[in-house]
Amino acid sequence: MIRVHNLHIQYKQGNQVVPAVRGVSFDINPGDYMAFIGPSGSGKSTLISALAGLIRPASGEIHAEKHKIHSASRSELSRIRARYFSIVFQFSEMLSRFTVRENLMLSWMAVHGSRRLDDFRERTEYLASRLDIFPLLDSFPGQLSGGQLQKTAIARALIRDLPVILADEPSGNLDPESLKKVKLLFAEEHEKGKAIFLVTHDMQFALDAKTIFELRDGKISQLVK
């Protein structure tokens, strides 16, 4: 479904070029559950940003079926995102002027428009019960703790109900009980046919995946599982 071929990504800092991803290839197919581990700075978030079409690779290709993510225009990219990806960012993207429920609604509408609002309500119920965030739905993001914010950000991503979940360190701020809930939710979404691309420093979470890749200095250095 998603094919990444010989991907190279660089950042420009002044007149210096910082290589962040150096020749990475892999596929994401329906039913995959893959985890990317690796030290800080190894290129994991960069890889997610490129998959999501938020940064353009220096060379190489990323295809989502027939779509070319590596060279698509901005408007094509937002259509591609709305068709394939639910994205949990490493740093919360919740909009501070809106309540959690309104954030979920905006995220839903970016994919489905104002259609199927009954499905939106049903999916909100489902995610809120799995993540135990019912009491938070009418709060504003600024009123939440780090762990609460992380759980609502996961709900905001997963509400989209799209074929591929890209999750960047979704458990960094979670207590053990919440971590267990997120792991279960991901397993359930995987069970329902979603492909999962998980970036994590938490080996226990990574072990839920069917395959584990290690990224080092922008290269896939090892297939751990």
Ligand X SMILES: Nc1ncnc2c1ncn2[C@@H]1O[C@H](COP(=O)(O)OP(=O)(O)OP(=O)(O)O)[C@@H](O)[C@H]1O
- Which residues would be at the binding site for ligand X (CB under 6 A)? 11, 13, 18, 20, 38, 40-46, 90
Beta carbon nearer to ligand X, 11 or 134: 11
Beta carbon nearer to ligand X, 139 or 211: 211
Among Mg ion, ligand X, none, residue 57 binds (CB under 5-8 Å by kind): none
Find the shortest distance in angstroms from Cβ 104 to ligand X: 25
Taking Cα atoms as reference points, which of 127, 138, 57 lies closest to residue 100?
138
Among Mg ion, ligand X, none, residue 20 binds (CB under 5-8 Å by kind): ligand X
Q: In the sheet that 219-223 helps form, which strands lie side by side, from edge to edge? A: 85-88, 164-168, 195-199, 33-37, 211-216, 219-223
Please give the Cα distance from 149 to 68 (Å, whole number): 33
Binders in 26-55 for Mg ion, by CB under 5 A: 44-45
Q: In the sheet that 2-13 helps form, which strands lie side by side, from edge to edge? A: 16-28, 2-13, 59-64, 67-68
Beta carbon nearer to Mg ion, 124 or 200: 200
Beta carbon nearer to Mg ion, 72 or 215: 215
Binding site for Mg ion (CB under 5 A): 44-45, 90
